[in-house]
A and B are shown apart, each in its own frame.
Chain A
């Protein structure tokens, strides 16, 4: 029995509309577009780091990042000036973990965020310094925990309303591995080359999460998986079949080409972002963002 199109939800995601991509609530609130991209990137990076510290699987982390992106998209979405990216990141990770097999307590989530947001955390320090962060700077007292918890739970409700309770996110990672197997690129006993190929494919998919082009909101998982496989095979030097194999997986040449270029451009963009915010990091909290916007407006005036 052929699957009905509407039964393919386990392979597909809701995508943004063109209107949603053309304006955003943050831009209406006078956040410059480049700062918006930076904030989005910083939010994704923060979520990824928190997920790693909480020992969550990449599937949950990736879902949390995608939900964070969904929140800030479109004129009816959230604005960075109203809902700070650090709050949405924490709420998204907390909520995604809650409905997964590995729920996390509010205390664990908030401890990790207190650590990552402290002034000496590895995320906020210049790249070269490797001083150990001072434990006192990220200690979360009972009082501040209670306040932070109220914010977390409120933000969770706001987040859920803005994405109209669509918590389902299909990630392409498992698809990519299935495609590699189907293409005969992953032999039963792994070789150094096949391991490298699989690792590189997954790495590309994780990088795509950080792309300023919102690839996870504009392309379906199979297309992302195919692009990652294609690029990884070229880089590792594995020859896949010479035919137009991506069509077998329902991805056309144009989309593949676009995604391959987008994936390839991620590295340079991320490097620029890192040097751009090398002193002190991106303004993750509301007050920091206000200072930054004020500074820019003063400069341009």
Chain B
């Protein structure tokens, strides 16, 4: 009976060949895995040994167990027992480059989906657990909208830029995994408990000035890192800034990010969520650079200070008018050449010239002079006048009292990315790819945006009244 069953399976030659090959492949994989394991182990041992020898180095000599990269230290060579080391030629320490590896993507089945978090501009995000390790990660499914051109270029850029970005304030992409269908692609990223937008909505009094400084420092250093690596984020906003319970903030959602160059290549102007979009983009420029991210940083700073989005335009024209209301009307002197931008030709401005500083200062009465100057410079209409991320990092605002709060001192908050349904406040999402809308001539009349200024509520603090 048993032999019959056996023969039924073993009879087929093709099957055995296939089986053999499968076994061989499996063996190979297993071997590779074991090798890798062993290598890791060896490295670990080596490190431990080195650490151990380093500590009791002064007490006794030892038979130098040196890794290839670890040369014997000078002090060790002085000891008489180290004869072998003295024969060695002058050690030259050459820089070794990190070499990562690649292999086919793993399957998404390695992860167990826990709950849905958020729908971003280019994908769905859910909280998941890696079955093997039990680690909690964020799993983002890429959207395959424009299947006309194959794998969406935005997804490719997101993976490319995230892979290149290794910074403590940028969310880490661990790997890319795939599903059963050819266009099921998931990004495995660090899971963080909060995003800044919902966190702030649920807080009673917002962040304290010292906390705002820490958050802004973290954001600016991430932006500085990106720009120094020639990456534009192009969708900085509070809902894309994630936070953990240790006061650490990480920039996420690179769905709009891309590499840029100098001189800037022709890029689409349809980037950045409307409320955080820089005026030159709204005016239709095709050549822009890192400055647009700094405008968004300015908007985020304003939002952190007032607990609500700074410039909530209903559409492109309304957004521009909100910007001009806050920052003043651009003049040829303050922003040379802005009139030549595609959408600027159809704009009509009031004749009286307004100044910018006064309005921003009035809107943020509790902000110090240094803080106001940083905010004003970030929200310069003329992109050339905005500081670079590097310059912003050294701004006196970060050095004056109250000093930035240490991340360890940050309060913790109940995580909303868990099961609870949360209240959603409507906010626009990042623009979709396609043609940028033109601002029509009729709609763009800004001549009366300051007309009702007297009726407006005056900001808090002290105000003089003329009788």
Contacts and interface: CB of A to CB of B under 8 A. Distances in A.
Interface of A: 4-17, 19-20, 23, 28, 70, 74-77, 94-95, 98-99, 101, 103, 106, 152-154, 156-158, 160-168, 220, 222, 247, 250-252
A20 B164 CA distance: 24
Contact of A166 (B32, B149, B163, B178): B163
A11 B102 contact: no
Interface string B25-37: 1001101100100
A165 B185 CA distance: 10
Given A14-B100, A15-B99, A76-B104, A98 B160 contact: no
A28 B261 contact: no
B9 interface: no
B99 A9 contact: no
A161 B178 contact: yes
Interface string B16-32: 00000100110011011
B150 A75 contact: no
Contacts of A161: 104-105, 178
B28 A23 contact: yes
Given A19-B31, A165-B176, 18 more contacts: A5-B98, A10-B229, A12-B99, A14-B100, A15-B99, A17-B101, A23-B28, A74-B103, A76-B103, A94-B150, A101-B265, A152-B150, A162-B104, A163-B102, A167-B159, A222-B97, A250-B94, A252-B94
B157 interface: yes
Interface string B411-426: 0000000000000000
A98 B154 CA distance: 10
B99 A220 contact: yes
5 contacts: A6-B98, A154-B182, A164-B175, A166-B102, A250-B97
Nearest to A3: B95
B94 A251 contact: yes
B24 A11 contact: no
A77 B103 CA distance: 7
Nearest to B261: A101
Contacts of B160: 99, 167-168
Interface string B123-156: 0000000000000000000000001011101001
Contacts of B193: none
B408 interface: no
Interface of B: 21, 24-25, 28-29, 31-32, 35, 92, 94-105, 147, 149-151, 153, 156-157, 159-160, 163-164, 166, 175-176, 178, 182-183, 185, 229, 261, 265
A167 B153 CA distance: 12
Residue from the set B32, B97, B182 with the largest chain A CB neighbour count within 10 Å: B97
A11 B152 CA distance: 27
Given A157-B151, A162-B104, A28 B21 contact: yes
B149 A98 contact: yes
A9 B29 CA distance: 27
A250 B100 CA distance: 18
Contacts of B92: 247, 252
Given A9-B164, A166-B102, A157 B182 contact: yes
A296 B21 CA distance: 21
A76 B229 CA distance: 32
Contacts of A98: 149-150, 153, 156
